[in-house]
Amino acid sequence: MLLGSQPIANDLWLAIRDQLTKMPVVSSWLEGLGLGTALLAELITADPAWMRIHDGEAFLNPHAPWGDIDSTLYELAWVIGDERKKLALMGRPDSGVDVRDLLRFLAGTDDEIVPRAATMLEGQLDQRGNYVRRTIGEQEHADNNRVVDKGRLALGNPPLAVPVKVKLGLWKTAFRHMPLNPNHTGLPSANVNRAIRRGEPLTPQEILLIALFDLIDITRRAGTVGVEYWPSREQCQSFLPPQLNELLELADEVKDARVVR
């Protein structure tokens, strides 16, 4: 059973994986879009909030307890802060960072083995499976791998993910994080189904997770048995705060614009 403190991006990271192959069931771009949206949602829902959205633009909270932030969210916040500095140099000091541009950056491209949002969660591995030491702003991170260090399902359990060499073609291989226990991939949706079956109210995290499943088109796969009883996207929006609804609407715009092209 997932802990209540399990970050929403970790839940989605699990749900995206196939139980047999442990590989993502969606494209690299959709994976990045979903995980990027989840990470931005974590910044918004922190107490106090580390980020807010206004008219489609992201603004960091200068009074947030930045010393308590983990390296994954620190990297994302640094990207937002760095973009705001660039806007200030361009004579736009009051402008925020376009959330749609942020989501496109986090989604990356289908050509990338690991989307940028996933790299923020997993850390970066070299060809030998060793973690790459990266400098983010003024801090150096050798182990920016939340799903390994902090993605635990319960106290004392093994890590959520481990590096595994995967084949990417006839000759090409690379290291990618895979769930240590393939049965854990179904836990996020199982928690939702259990609550619905018992007639219990869904938590805000579970409602957001359902909306994220819809965003990246894995509702049917993630829900398996019982998905027909899940609340619709519209019903989810009525329970989510305005900031999260705006984030999800912007993510939909990014997705729809890509599909149209």
- Higher-confidence residue of 68 and 215: namely 215
pLDDT tens column, 11-44: 999 889 888 888 888 999 999 999 999 999 999 9
- 3-state SS, residue 129: coil
Report the C-alpha gap between 259 and 153 in whole angstroms. Answer: 35
pLDDT tens column, 158-208: 677 777 777 766 777 777 788 888 888 888 888 888 888 888 888 888 899
Q: Where are the domains of the chain?
A: 8-260
Alpha helices by DSSP H, listed for the chain, are: 8-15, 28-45, 71-89, 99-107, 116-122, 146-149, 187-197, 204-215, 219-223, 233-239, 242-260
Q: Is the pLDDT score of 140 beyond 60?
A: no
pLDDT tens column, 153-164: 444 566 777 777
Q: Is the pLDDT score of 1 beyond 50?
A: no
Q: Do the beta carbons of residue 206 and residue 195 sit within 8 Å?
A: yes
Full DSSP string of 62-78: TTS-GGG--HHHHHHHH
Report the C-alpha gap between 14 and 23 in whole angstroms. Answer: 10
> Global pTM?
0.88
Report the C-alpha gap between 31 and 37 in whole angstroms. Answer: 10
Q: How far is CA 248 from the centre of its chain?
A: 13
DSSP annotation of 253 reads H
**Percentage above 90 pLDDT, the chain:** 29
Q: Distances from the Cα of 4 to the Cαs of 39, 87, 89, 95, 133, in angstroms?
A: 16, 38, 42, 35, 31
Dihedral sign for Cα 239, 245, 251, 253, please: positive
